[in-house]
Amino acid sequence: MPKYKAPRGTYDVVPENAHHWRFVEDTFAELATSYGYGEIRTPVFEETDLFVRSSGDTSEVVTKQMYTFEDKGGRSMTLKPEATAPAIRACLEHSLIGQQSQVARVWYKTPIFRYERPQKGRCRQAHQVGMELVGSTAPAADAEVIEMTVRFYQALGIKDLKVLLNSIGRDATRAAYRDAIMSHVQGWLKDQDDEFRVKAEKNPLRLLDTKDPDLLAVLSDAPIITDYLEDASKSHIDEVLRLLGAAGIEFEYEPRIVRGLDYYTDTVFEVQGMNLGAQSALCGGGRYDGLVEALGGPATPAVGAAMGIERALIALEEEGALPEAAGIDMFIVAAGDGASEQAAALARELRDAGLSCSLDIDGRSRKAQMKLASRSGATWTAIICDEEVSANEVTLLNVETGEQNRVARAEVLARLKS
């Protein structure tokens, strides 16, 4: 057994499955670029207060899950547990937002860190791709982000999806709904400990994110937030739904989807993979018109979503849609006097032309090299032995068809391209 292993809740991505990760990341990058989004990269750690302000000091992320440390200057720093707050911080710092009529579209891929019990699809170092559209109050912004999210999963090849949407309204809606929820759970809440009651009273909407079966039973007949929506919020979500219908996005209106953070407004949504069992959520997102201001910027509307890469890979595996690894174009077998030099020269020529190739560098026998060629997954095998060296030729073997021919050394590249 090795002396050292990856820390609990983390893992290594090795060559045999790295192409799965590149597929997910490249698919999202291409999609985001096609919608006019630019990539943003933020540090792995930020000031702790950034996440306290964005997630809230009573959230489970802040109270239980963050990896926080004091740096050598005595500053409190935290490995980022989510990517939206750092992206907004960067947009503010670099003046991407804040000017009148300015809209910023950014996308990212990043690791996130949360100390929680590791399980399938949930890690202490997880990975996300996501996007933020900042500066627009238009329902079309909400619809664009939701459409992008669905198109991403469709582009990956995940077919069995469910899109759930809701509106949580604005300040007046949430204030009235908080009172309604607190009134509904008051009898159950009086039997809970003081710490839990304080957190519930500070932000009752967090109760709706519970996994506690007893609290879920109490909430089963609770009031729904859509009964408290203001007219402006009703008009907003109606237009979002109309735009999604026009885009061909199928969805279900689910009034029990909420976000417990104060800066969320109006549209919230979740995408579920139907082949994932109990842990069906692939991602979540929504409108957060209060976040920029909470982080010290001007009042600025925004909407975004974050998608877990691990959960996307699980969904692809469940549907049998993980892509096959692409093999190299050629493996060069070289045995005999002068063969190694010719093989190295051929490899350089192929690589300069944009083709991929590999060759033995340890002087193995021809038989051993042929085994390496077979395991490499190469489309072609080039054989250079004594006969080929003498005739300045190369034997080309098409692995897929089994066809084998001797060609002049100078014609190898043209033959491959044809």
CATH code (residue 396): 3.40.50.800
Signed CA dihedral, 34, 40, 45, 47: sign only: negative
What CATH number did the domain enclosing 300 receive?
3.30.930.10
Q: Are residues 145 and 43 in the same domain?
A: yes
Please report the pLDDT score of residue 102 as a whole number.
Answer: 82
Torsions phi, psi for 167 (to 5 deg)? -120, 130
Position 315 confidence tier, pLDDT thresholds 50, 70, 90 = very high
Q: Are residues 273 and 398 in the same domain?
A: no
Listed in sequence order, the residues at least 6 apart from 356 whose beta carbon sits closer than 8 Å to its beta carbon are 328, 329, 330, 350
What is the rounded distance in angstroms from the CA atom of residue 334 to the CA atom of residue 360? 8
Q: Are residues 137 and 269 in the same domain?
A: yes
Mean of the pLDDT values across residues 253-258? 87
Percentage of the chain exceeding pLDDT 70: 98
Q: Are residues 271 and 409 in the same domain?
A: no
What is the rounded distance in angstroms from the CA atom of residue 319 to the CA atom of residue 4? 34
Q: Are residues 149 and 38 in the same domain?
A: yes
Could you tell me the pTM of the whole model? 0.91
Q: Are residues 50 and 98 in the same domain?
A: yes
Please report the pLDDT score of residue 159 as a whole number.
Answer: 86
pLDDT, tens only, 122-134: 899 999 999 999 9
Number of domains comprising the chain = 2
Give the residue numbers spanning the domain of 275: 15-159+255-318
